[in-house]
Amino acid sequence: MTIAFTFPGQGSQTVGMGKGLADAFPEAKAVFEEVDEALGQKLSEVMWDGPEEVLTLTANAQPALMAVSLATMRVLEAKGLDLKSAVAYVAGHSLGEYSALAAAGSLDVATTARLLRVRGDAMQNAVPVGAGAMAALLGLDFDVAAEVAQEAAQGEVCQAANDNAPGQVVVSGHLAAVERAVEIAKAKGARRAVMLPVSAPFHCALMAPAADAMSKALANADIKSPAVPLVANVLAAPITDPGEIRSKLVEQVTGTVRWRESVSWLAGNGVDTFVEVGTGKVLTGMVRRIHKEATGLVVNTPEDIDALMEKIVG
């Protein structure tokens, strides 16, 4: 069994996430307290009690999702998990890349929380509300979806933002261009093409101001070599050098999340078990669509943690 740990991105957040872990394990509770302190905000109260619209704000959802993933990691470690000996690679979807790096010891939790707060604010503020949009094009391969985006741009920004799984591509850009992409995709045989309820057009050129903000924030961040390689979103290949990690995290703000290729790379390099650490099971669903033979496990409850440790340690 060769394992990769994966870490979810925005959209997986739910009110109440992480509460069971905090109640059951002091190690988990300590992570939520550390994140609250780093941000100067009782983010844990928003996570556990809502309201949902406040949790869903990009600046809150990003550090909150990371907090649950890292709380889960700390419990696994307390139960005897040694990441370096048990896990071959880590990978995360968009903000999940920061969770993956924190899990692998490349970033500490407080630094990661502050970076994600900067990232969330910068991504939200990069484009005026209503000026940008994202849409899911279902049933089209990535190359066709990229052609649709190019055809729809017409002098505006429209690009393939997330290559999530076969036939599941998200495009991002100016509102009118993304609306054109939806119509073009339907004409090209998309099974469905729908606008997404997002607050900003992530992972496209319109995020350039946010990339600049992250470049400044990451320049001062202490980044160490991770205990195991990170398969980076923009490369779909492993990296361990702190300087390269820093530059790829900046590129990731405007670049395509190459999740389908990342999972394919992992599967092609011996990974047969993908463990989603944190909230939800979005990535596990994607993994099964990308690599049908893979085993997908979700770890976000005390019971899940015990089951995983039984598998790994026996």
Active-site amino acid positions? 94, 203
Task: With CA atoms as reference, report the closest residue to 221 among 253, 246, 240, 244.
Answer: 246
Secondary structure (3-state) at 143:
helix
Residues recorded for the chain: 314
Q: Which residues contact 128 (CB under 8 A, 6 or more apart)?
A: none
- Given a contact cutoff of 8 angstroms between Cβ atoms, the answer to whether 95 and 10 are in contact is yes
What residue type is 13 in one-letter code?
Q
Helix (H) or strand (E) segment spanning residue 176 = helix 175-187
- Given a contact cutoff of 8 angstroms between Cβ atoms, the answer to whether 112 and 99 are in contact is yes
| Cα separation, 121 vs 126, whole angstroms | 8
Task: With CA atoms as reference, report the closest residue to 282 among 61, 44, 31, 10.
Answer: 10
- Given a contact cutoff of 8 angstroms between Cβ atoms, the answer to whether 140 and 148 are in contact is yes
Task: With CA atoms as reference, report the closest residue to 160 among 174, 170, 151.
Answer: 170
Measured in whole angstroms, the distance separating CA 45 from the mean position of its chain's CA atoms is: 22
Q: What are the φ and ψ backbone dihedral angles of 91, each rounded to 5 degrees? A: -155, 150
Q: b/e per residue, 5-22, with b = 16+ CB within 10 A?
A: bbbbbbbbbeeebbbebb
- Given a contact cutoff of 8 angstroms between Cβ atoms, the answer to whether 20 and 302 are in contact is yes
How many CA atoms lie less than 13 Å away from 269 in the CB half-sphere? 15
